[in-house]
Copies of this chain bind each other. A is one copy, B any other.
Amino acid sequence: MSYNTFGHAFRFTTWGESHGPAIGAVVDGCPPGIAITETDLQPFLDQRRPGTSRFTTQRQEPDQVRILSGVFEGRTTGTPISLMIDNVDQRSKDYSDVAKAYRPGHADYAYDAKYGFRDYRGGGRSSARETASRVAAGAVARLVIPEVTITAWVEAIGGDAIDPANFDAAEIGRNPFFCPDPVAAARWEGLVDTARKAGSSLGAVIGCAATGVPAGWGAPLYAKLDAELAAACMGINAVKGVEIGDGFTAATLRGEDNADAMRPGDNGPAFLANHAGGIAGGIATGQPITLRVAFKPTASILTPVETIDRDGAATEIMTKGRHDPCVGIRGAPVVAAMVALVLADHKLMHRAQVG
């Protein structure tokens, strides 16, 4: 029993491997009558696609998304929207070592333990390439929630964080790091270059904020908005931690300091703080939803690591092929997509119950 579907009322199913002919997503439950063309989706794919700077993998994928169903005369019909992205730049011969031995930190061993064998080419289904399908589906989701604005950025690379005082959302699109702090962006060039040349890799932290989410979205108790955001983000390749609002810092605060006090406002309460990250009891409060997501360093590195082969014998592995020196960077548009998918789902779930 595997699960390749996410969501309740607005759902998507992804399929495809890194080195198969294509990857794709089927989006189900989209409301009818929404204007949509492939050009609405492509910009989001372009943000995530590889090969656009020396700081990402050099695999050249145009990531052109095609809509195969669910749209008629430029509008969604309410039937499943099938999205497909061709794989064009596979180099499966790079993976002969990976076929035989397990990359520490990668899913190779776990897949073999589960399924008995695996498609080792480019990581198969466990490749971050699959996240292109999420981004395509997420682009559809954004059209379902025009009232919401989602922004994601890189907050730290290899432990080197931005200065919040420098935060400028307009900067995010101006550098290859989705970095809102131009000073940090400049530093990161050297940092990532050094790691890449050393055959190493770096972790990263992504920040994300969604504004315009109406108070009331959310589905307690077992599809709480924060629980689903946690699942959506923890399920992204290489993610090891998720925080909502103040996250682990909240665990160090006293109750009166963590309380988001309220005053009368024009539309519902005017909150004096947002420690909660816009969610209470699993339900949106109307404040910005804020989260942070930790990406581990890319597991495929050119540095040799002690491991075992498929027969259990000792060996070393050094991953050839083309890889991101910091997979977290391209995680920014993926986190944004997952947040959009969760919010679109919760918008529809909310109106199912409350009308």
Contacts and interface: CB of A to CB of B under 8 A. Distances in A.
Interface stretch (A41-49, A117-125, A174-182): A117-125
A164 B72 CA distance: 45
A251 B328 contact: yes
Contact of A251 (B156, B228, B269, B285): B156
Contact of A241 (B3, B243, B262, B354): B243
A110 interface: yes
A6 B75 CA distance: 26
Contacts of A222: 3-6, 14, 235
A221 B22 CA distance: 17
Interface in A87-116: 102-107, 109-111, 113-116
Contacts of A355: 31, 351
A343 to B, nearest CB: 14
B31 A354 contact: yes
Interface in A149-170: 156, 158-159
Interface in A211-229: 214-224, 226-229
Contact of A255 (B14, B299, B353): B299
A24 interface: yes
Q: Please give the count of copies of this chain that the complex contains.
A: 4
| Range class of the A interface residue count | 35 or more
Interface in A233-279: 233-235, 237, 239-248, 250-264, 268-269, 272, 275-277, 279
A221 B241 contact: no
A70 interface: yes
A335 interface: no
Interface string A16-30: 110011111010111
Contact of A68 (B22, B204, B224): B22
A255 B218 contact: no
A256 to B, nearest CB: 5
Contacts of A313: 264
A305 interface: yes
Interface in A176-222: 195, 200-205, 214-222
Most buried by B among A23, A29, A234: A234
A216 to B, nearest CB: 4
B105 A31 contact: no
Contacts of A70: 15, 17
A5 B30 CA distance: 14
A269 B311 CA distance: 10
13 contacts: A4-B221, A15-B82, A78-B114, A78-B354, A79-B125, A109-B269, A113-B216, A114-B350, A202-B255, A227-B231, A243-B294, A250-B296, A251-B295
